[in-house]
Structure 1
Amino acid sequence: MAFILTKISVWLVFSLLVGSFVVGTSGSDFNKDFQIIWGDGRAKILNNGELLSLNLDKASGSGFQSKNEYLFGQIDMQLKLVPGNSAGTVTAYYLSSKGLTWDEIDFEFLGNLSGDPYTLHTNVFSQGKGNREQQFKFWFDPTADFHTYSILWNPLNIILSVDGIPIRKFKNLESKGVPYLKYQPMRLYSSLWNADDWATRGGLVKTDWSKAPFTASYRNFKANNACVWSSGSSSCASNPQPSNPWLNQEIDPNGEKKLKWVRKNYMIYNYCTDAKRFPQGFPPECNML
């Protein structure tokens, strides 16, 4: 599979080389942190809790959720996506609350024909309102090895990163009338499912079930910097921001350079530039990205 790098500086090459190891090589236990919620045995926790696999066949996909709920956190997970012809499949990895006015932060990995890059689809829902899609191609093969996908969610902003490289930020703009995600605790979910009515080239390419089962793998979950929500209170209540500096973290100047590099070279859709979709004007947050 060919992936073309464009005008990349030395510091970014270094970031890419070490980025897959942002999370350590051991320490997480899926038995302790997660529960399988659907799939009739297609989801499996392996290697004494160090590895989790989701499988999809023609009968069903599979999924899991975190045992904890969080109200702010730095969430890291390493994923290795479905290899080969994964057209029609979607691997979803996201934080979400419940109810009609839910909050949600999405990574969705849209499958491909062999040889074509995956599409990384992102979205942010606040109080039930989404329609904030941004899509990217990868600068590496996400099926060849594990890579780290991170969500930093604090009172100031949401930052989505891949191997430590920011790809998207969503600022708290309540002062501009944009609801922010700060009142509803969320669980971490992931699922592998069939979406061949839209996932690959708008549904033109269907799932090839002769390639099933399709498998996505997970390891090295990390939520050390996270506020666990339990019985109506946060674990960070007794450890305010001076003890949790990540609660004030924003993208630094070096991170802004990386974010611009991703947007320039790998962003393929941005709702904030889709004038046909918003003929009356773009959402207010688009002026602050």
Structure 2
Amino acid sequence: MFSIHILSRLFFVASLSSCATVTRSLQHDSPIPPSVPRLTDRFSHLPFDEAFSEFFGGPNVQRVSNGSYINLKLDNSSGSGFKSRSMYYYGFFSAAIKLPADYSAGVVVAFYMSNADVYPHNHDEIDFELLGHEKRKEWVLQTNIYGNGSVGTGREEKFYMWFDPTADFHEYSILWNSHHIVFLVDNIPVREVNRSVAMSRAYPSKPMSVYATIWDGSQWATHGGKKPVNYKFAPFVASLKDFEMEGCAWNQTKIAPPCPNNSQNSGLGLDPVGGQEFEELSDQQKVGMAWARNGFMFYSYCNDQNRFPVIPPECKEGK
């Protein structure tokens, strides 16, 4: 399970280290993002113990203030993580995360969906990966998707953030349905992956669990592995709260049913992201996504000719 998640990233370490040099300097004053609909206000927060169970790390998974938020620790004994008690087929999944402060090179904080434990040879993933750096404002946000075990074709995009992610909690959300996958930060879409003919085989199509982890990514996470974790600064602590998981719970059959549109289908209830408003981005959301991508994205696999001499077909469609 967890080892597969790590090894899938090591596959492309060498190519990531040859990415184009970042020329945009970080701003000291946080810019004001455009106004967008707050999807996180549409769904209820779930108590941690009701929604999640420990994944690994034992005492490094810490409940704080009666579970009002959770600390995940990485020290020289172990990382840590938790996973959802249910698997989901489509839905909206979100957590507010506050990242470790100070020196954090080599540290990876991930909020993601995966089914590698159930489908080890053809698994799906939808990933937020937050990659530590030498300075707290230089944390990097990486998004990625895998479909049907195609880990050899990472579809990474990397962003700087327009805020200090160590100073307060910020919302990281995934919208996944039959039309598209949308990655949102504080409700602003930063990436949209449309289901298309080009993406049909690689589009996540099986039920997945929701995970949150912190772990040692020394071999690849910071500058292609040039900056490993320095445990003199440990423990590294990521705090998480305001969990939202509104999706179609999988009924544990081998074949995932379509996410139902009415409560009489499969006994799974209404599809929470099946309405027309979730089929495509609104005009406000499109403006917000253009703002984030034009101002803060510094790497896209679609532009990496070292890794992909032939551009992936979905890139020609604008993903």
8 Å contact kept, 1:66–1:189 = yes
Aligned with 1:41: secondary structure? helix
Question: Partner amino acid for 2:96?
Answer: Q
2:149 to 123, 128, 133: 128
Distance between the aligned counterparts of 2:257 and 2:67, measured in 1?
27
How far is 1:3 from its partner?
A: 3.4
Equivalent pairs counted in the alignment come to: 278
TM-score if structure 2 supplies the norm length?
0.79
Question: Partner amino acid for 2:27?
Answer: F
Distance between the aligned counterparts of 1:90 and 1:159, measured in 2?
21
8 Å contact kept, 2:140–2:159 = yes
Aligned with 2:273: secondary structure? helix
1:192 to 214, 217, 226: 214
1:167-200 deviation per Cα after TM superposition (whole angstroms, max 9, x unaligned): 0111111x33631545410000111111122211
Question: Partner amino acid for 2:243?
Answer: F
How far is 1:57 from its partner?
A: 0.5
1:59 to 77, 85, 100: 77
CA 1:120/1:97 → structure 2, altered by over 3 Å: closer, same or farther? Answer: same
8 Å contact kept, 2:114–2:125 = yes
The gaps in structure 1 that reach 5 residues or longer are: none
Aligned with 1:169: secondary structure? strand
1:105 to 121, 126, 145: 126
Residue 119 (structure 1) aligns with: 140
TM-score if structure 1 supplies the norm length?
0.87
CA 1:255/1:4 → structure 2, altered by over 3 Å: closer, same or farther? Answer: farther
The gaps in structure 2 that reach 5 residues or longer are: 1-25
How far is 1:115 from its partner?
A: 4.7
Query: 2:235 matched to 1:213?
Result: yes
Aligned with 1:262: secondary structure? helix
Distance between the aligned counterparts of 1:214 and 1:270, measured in 2?
28
2:194 to 160, 171, 190: 171
Residue 3 (structure 1) aligns with: 27
Residue 90 (structure 1) aligns with: 108
Spell out the pairing of 1:156-167 with structure 2 (5 A cutoff): 156-167=179-190
Provide the aligned C-alpha RMSD in A. Answer: 2.6
Residue 294 (structure 2) aligns with: 264
Distance between the aligned counterparts of 2:258 and 2:84, measured in 1?
16
Which range moves more in the overlay, 96-105 or 47-56? 47-56
Percent identical pairs in the alignment equals 35
8 Å contact kept, 1:158–1:170 = yes
Larger fraction in strand:
1
Query: 2:173 matched to 1:150?
Result: yes
Distance between the aligned counterparts of 1:267 and 1:41, measured in 2?
36
CA 1:62/1:287 → structure 2, altered by over 3 Å: closer, same or farther? Answer: same
Residue 283 (structure 1) aligns with: 312
Distance between the aligned counterparts of 1:269 and 1:215, measured in 2?
27
How far is 1:234 from its partner?
A: 6.0
Distance between the aligned counterparts of 1:183 and 1:154, measured in 2?
9
8 Å contact kept, 1:72–1:182 = no
How far is 1:82 from its partner?
A: 1.0
